[in-house]
Chain A
Amino acid sequence: MTFPARFFHRYLKHYVLLLPFFILFAIFYLYPLVYSIVISLMKWDGIHAPIFVDIQNYIRIVNHPRFSVSMLNLGRFVLIVVPVGITIALALALLVDTFTPRWEKFFRGMYFFPVIIPMFLSAAIFRYLLSPKVGLIPVGLEALGITGINWLSNPTYMVPAVALVDMWRAIGFNFLLLFAGLKAIPREYFEAARVDGANRWQEIRHIAIPQLEPVLFLVIVNGFIGALQAFDIPWLLSLSTFVNYGGTRNGMLFPVMEIYMAAWGRQDFGGASAFAVILLAITLVITVVQFAWRKYRLAD
């Protein structure tokens, strides 16, 4: 047999079974990805023939006031949910680790519960809990003497409100991963430390955290990727519609909301794609920088 014939005879069966997955993957992922970049260079309303406009969509989008507002909101959001959310999750994982296995299982089951609640539902329920005068959170804060925080219409507090709802869920998810990582650390390490007279804080600092590094790293990388895509929670908390979106003075305007509205609200598919490609680039840069930094750190 000649080379290609032999090759196919030997490997064809493998490629055949990969085909269903990769056909779908190509049509519904790879092709859209490339198409997105192509459209970002076109002026296109979704109906008429697209016109090539090179990088004008990018220039137009970046100079739009809503671009900077949504990016600033996103930046504030990420700076809350990633550090605060992960610290709380880590603290909870370390806390639950001190209980007996039965209680560990109970706490794990409870802490993970918010993750299975769809995000649209958590947003819907928290929209009510945060409502001025009738919502339990403002009413509760008022009982503690804290008044005047309008979570849903004061732009200072609107991003923290989105972060609050997001963290309610994300902490459960990060807790699960960190807790599993903690359980994978050999018990002997802790026992040896205890023999040497280490207290709980020293155990955490010198054993648990260094051993958890790979899991912590993944949680942080995932945290960024997830946070950059926020849509359901700010969209619903701000009661956004085609007519009106982003909430008071765009206090809950996030990039994905602006992309969605540019495309389906204004039929500016080129501009929307350009914004999406920018968001993609930011996501990739943040992810790559984290991987590179980790490599550099571990090489030391």
Chain B
Amino acid sequence: MKILRFSRNIIRWLVALLWVVVAVFPLWYTFSVVFSPPGVPVTQQFLPSSFSAGIEKITAVLTQTNLNILKASGVTLLYATLQVAGMIFVTSLAAYEFALFDFPGKNFLFILALSSLMMPIVVTLIPLFQVSIQLKWLNTLQGLAVPGMASALALFIFRQFMESLPRELIDAGEIDGASHFGIYRLIIMPLSANAVLTVTVWAFVNAWANYIWPLVILTKPEMFTVSLVAAAQVGQRSWTTVDFAMATYLISAIPPILLYVFLQRYIIQGFSTTGLKG
């Protein structure tokens, strides 16, 4: 009986730790391939063995002139910032109304917004491309950023949060003579810092990962996002090109990993809300 319980306990730990290995292995392996001397057989690349080789590869990637990852990171960072800023403004304003007030058509409008979550993105892709052409937004930051701003999920995250705020805050604001927008700006938003941070990191991780929309509206290599630059390296087979590709992947994984390491709580909060809509 005791042995049975003991061995069951071991299996429990082994399985749980095995999945940890599965989850982190691909990135760990990328890291150790980059930090190994060129030409080491794949089966011996589980551990990084040469710091200088890694630095050399990363320098080669960073100084690459054609499709530079650093430049792409700049473009992606700018567009993501623009998108997140716009998203926070429009969705928090709308959520303020949905969470704290009553007006005719409220439920209809909210369900209309949320229904967009059920739709495959590809359905709107072709018309969005046409709209972007008409606005002359191909190869621009606004073309990358603006179409994704009216995010139903960000609206949902804000509404969930604001619904938990006491309504007395609004009465107090009105007594103090604050305007309708003033209450939003001076009372509700300062209290919603948690939701702002949640939406920010969640939306940033998504913007960094976006592949199909940049693929559609970017044709000029100097505007390429990280996703397009990294994707251009896929499928390399020779040693030097594999090393180069792996170093590119490693660099493009850094921003989301850093966000995860430092703001894990908010990322998990954001993603769990995205699953619990409905």
A binding-site residues for B, Cβ under 8 Å: 11, 13-15, 17-18, 20-22, 24-25, 27-29, 31-33, 35-36, 39, 46, 92, 95-96, 98-99, 103, 107-129, 131, 134-136, 139, 168, 172-173, 176-177, 180, 215, 218-219, 221-222, 225, 228-229, 231-232, 236, 239, 255-256, 259-260, 263-264, 269, 272-273, 276-277, 279-280, 283-284, 287
Contacts and interface: CB of A to CB of B under 8 A. Distances in A.
A78 to B, nearest CB: 13
A236 B90 contact: no
B245 A124 contact: yes
A276 B150 CA distance: 22
Contacts of B215: 260
Interface string B217-254: 00000000001001101111100001001100100110
Interface residues of B, number: 84
B268 A279 contact: no
A255 B120 CA distance: 11
Interface string B177-197: 000110010000000000000
A218 B103 contact: no
A41 B150 CA distance: 28
Contact of B184 (A17, A112, A119): A17
B234 A127 contact: yes
A259 B268 CA distance: 33
Q: Which 3 pairs from chain A and chain B are nearest by CB?
A: A118-B209, A32-B127, A32-B124
A115 B253 CA distance: 12
Given A11-B103, A25-B150, A131 B276 contact: no
B93 interface: yes
Nearest to B238: A134
Contacts of A99: 16
B119 interface: yes
Contacts of A18: 93-94, 97, 109
A236 B211 CA distance: 11
B89 interface: yes
Contacts of A13: 180
A173 B155 CA distance: 20
Interface stretch (B47-55, B60-68, B257-265): B257-265
Report which residue of A13, A32, A172 has the largest number of chain B beta carbons within 10 angstroms of its beta carbon: A32
A113 B252 contact: no
Nearest to A169: B23
Contacts of A124: 230-231, 233-234, 245, 249
Contacts of A119: 209, 211
A279 B231 contact: no
Contacts of A107: 16, 19-20
Contacts of B227: 118, 120
13 contacts: A18-B94, A21-B93, A28-B147, A107-B16, A111-B19, A119-B211, A125-B29, A136-B42, A172-B23, A173-B271, A264-B216, A272-B126, A276-B125
Interface in B85-125: 89-91, 93-94, 96-97, 101, 103-104, 109, 113, 116, 118-125
Contacts of B276: 177, 180, 215, 218
Given A32-B124, A128-B245, A218-B276, 7 more contacts: A18-B109, A119-B211, A120-B209, A124-B249, A125-B246, A276-B120, A280-B119
A119 B209 CA distance: 7
B150 A21 contact: yes
B127 A36 contact: yes
A277 to B, nearest CB: 7
Nearest to B205: A116
A21 B215 CA distance: 25
A177 B125 contact: no
Contacts of A122: 26
A83 B111 CA distance: 29
Contacts of A110: 19-20, 23-24
